[in-house]
Amino acid sequence: MSRGPREGNALRAVRRALQASSPAEALWWTAQAYRAAPTHPAVRALVRRMQRRYPNARGRPPLRWHRLVLASYALLSAIALVLILYGPQPDHPLEPPAAAHPPVEMVAEAGTPEKRPGETLASEGATPSPASESPTPSPTPTATPVPPTPTARPSPTATPIPPTPTATPTASPSPTASPTRRPAPMATPRPRLTASPTPMPGPPFPGRWILVDLSDQELIAYEGEAPILRTKVSTGRRHTPTVVGTFHIYLKLRSRTMRGPDYYLPNVPYVMYFYKGYALHGTYWHNNFGQPMSRGCVNLPTPIAAQLYQWADIGTPVVVQP
């Protein structure tokens, strides 16, 4: 039996989750497997195992160390290339060095024969005559130094740079402030937060699904078209609204500590996450159901939340309508 690409991705994510070295990485791979194939038996078994092993943990993507190494290598290569292209260079690298000792030419005086190597005079093998016995002084050749010819080096010519004209600021008359009456500020309506959930078929669904009505502050649990459970709830306030759309439950926790800038709620019971940090959960800190009271979640009475936690599985659709 051939497997589709989504099932193949889900099974690879299951293997990665089972081989993970930290709870955050394991839960992250579990979420990837569930997104690929939420109804696959191996994925459902993995979700139940992660719920038992890490009841209060949330998944985070693993660190990609090879990306950091490649980025560092690319940065160092760019710095080395800039230094090679624009670094300091020696002046006239191709000019030959000047001679330390210039050559000296030997110039013989006029009337003195020049003796070449390998030559012998004709009179060296003959018997000297009486007239030639008297030595005649011969002029000694003197060395006349010839000064070296200086090599002209090209002198750098300065290119004149025209001066940049500077704009002279002109004083402009400042307008005289006249007292005007400001209109009273009017409250602008805050738009409702709308998420981009995973597209799912419109209700009613063939199996179990949950409807949250923000106008009536009411939750109804359906099985097909038949309502199974109905209760009043408390959704998000005006400045922290509940998202609107069609979602599905992707994580269930028996209890969870929730904290924020201005609240800290330990041991919140029966938490069912359906979109990012938005969840259905039990409520023990107020009993004002039917009125918006939360910061985006859907507050349920704790006994009703316990029944819904046992009734709804992971993957159950959640429809939030305005």
Note the pLDDT tens digit of each residue in 209-263. Answer: 999 999 999 999 999 999 999 999 999 999 999 999 999 999 999 999 999 888 8
For the cut 50, the answer to whether the pLDDT of residue 266 exceeds it is yes
198: pLDDT confidence band, cut at 50, 70 and 90?
Answer: very low
12 vs 118: which has the higher pLDDT: 12
Inform me whether the pLDDT recorded for 160 exceeds 50. Answer: no
- Overall average pLDDT of the 116-139 stretch: 46
Residue 145 has a pLDDT of 52
Helices and strands per DSSP (H, E), number in the chain: 6, 9
Q: What is the mean pLDDT of residues 188-214?
A: 65
Residues 57-108 have pLDDT tens digits of 655 555 567 778 888 989 999 999 888 888 776 555 555 555 545 554 554 4
The answer on pLDDT for 304 being more than 90 is yes
Top-ranked range on mean pLDDT: pick from 63-67, 139-143, 173-177, 292-296: 292-296
Q: How far apart, in whole angstroms, are the C-alpha atoms of residue 238 and residue 292?
A: 8
CB burial readout 279-302, b (16+ within 10 A) else e: bbbbbeeeeebeebbbbbbbbbbe
Torsion of CA 209, 214, 215, 221, to 10 degrees: 20
Residue 317's nearest CA partner among 221, 185, 225 is 221
Band of pLDDT at residue 54, cut at 50, 70 and 90: confident
248 burial via Cβ count (<10 Å: 0-12, 13-18, 19+) = buried
pLDDT of residue 244: 96
Higher pLDDT, 133 or 287: 287
Which is more confident, 151 or 248? 248
> What SS3 state is found at 32?
helix
Residue given tokens 């070449």 in the structure block: 116
pLDDT band at 181 (very low <50, low <70, confident <90, very high): low
- Write down the pLDDT at residue 130: 41
Give the predicted TM-score (pTM) of the model: 0.41
Residue 169 pLDDT grade (very low, low, confident, very high; cuts 50, 70, 90): very low
According to the model, what pLDDT value does residue 313 have?
95
More confident residue, 11 or 60: 11
pLDDT band at 319 (very low <50, low <70, confident <90, very high): very high
